[in-house]
Amino acid sequence: MAGEETNFVKRLKARWGVDTNWRVFVIFTVFAITGTTSAKFAGPLTEVLGITKELNPFVYWPIRIIIILPIYKILLVIFGWLFGEYTFFKQFVLKMLRHLGLGFLMK
């Protein structure tokens, strides 16, 4: 079983237009680093803005998520570039913006 490609990996490679398992690994690594880093940045940034956990959780968490989204997109492209996958992540972010109805930001 070692070395045998799973259907999941095959589908991801086809969907993403990726040709090797190494690139899939790099892409997963970039997603992991970006998610962790953006979450770490959001904490201090919300505190600087005066938005703390003592605030109503129904207000705090949506605001924190809204703050994380642009940080995540910027870091995704930066880390993608650092790992040699700039084009993939640039296209990924542009597609994400279109799905969020923010395609006008691309012009």
- Which 3 state secondary structure label does DSSP give 84? coil
**CA atoms lying within 13 Å on the CB side of residue 69:** 9
Rg over alpha carbons for the chain, rounded to the nearest Å, is: 17
Residue 97 to residue 14: CA distance in whole angstroms: 22
Domain ranges of the chain: 21-106
pLDDT of residue 49: 86
Q: What's the pLDDT tens digit per position in 58-101? A: 888 888 888 888 899 999 999 999 999 999 999 999 998 888 88
Which residues, 6+ apart, have CB-to-CB distance to 4 below 8 Å? none
Over residues 46-62, mean pLDDT: 85
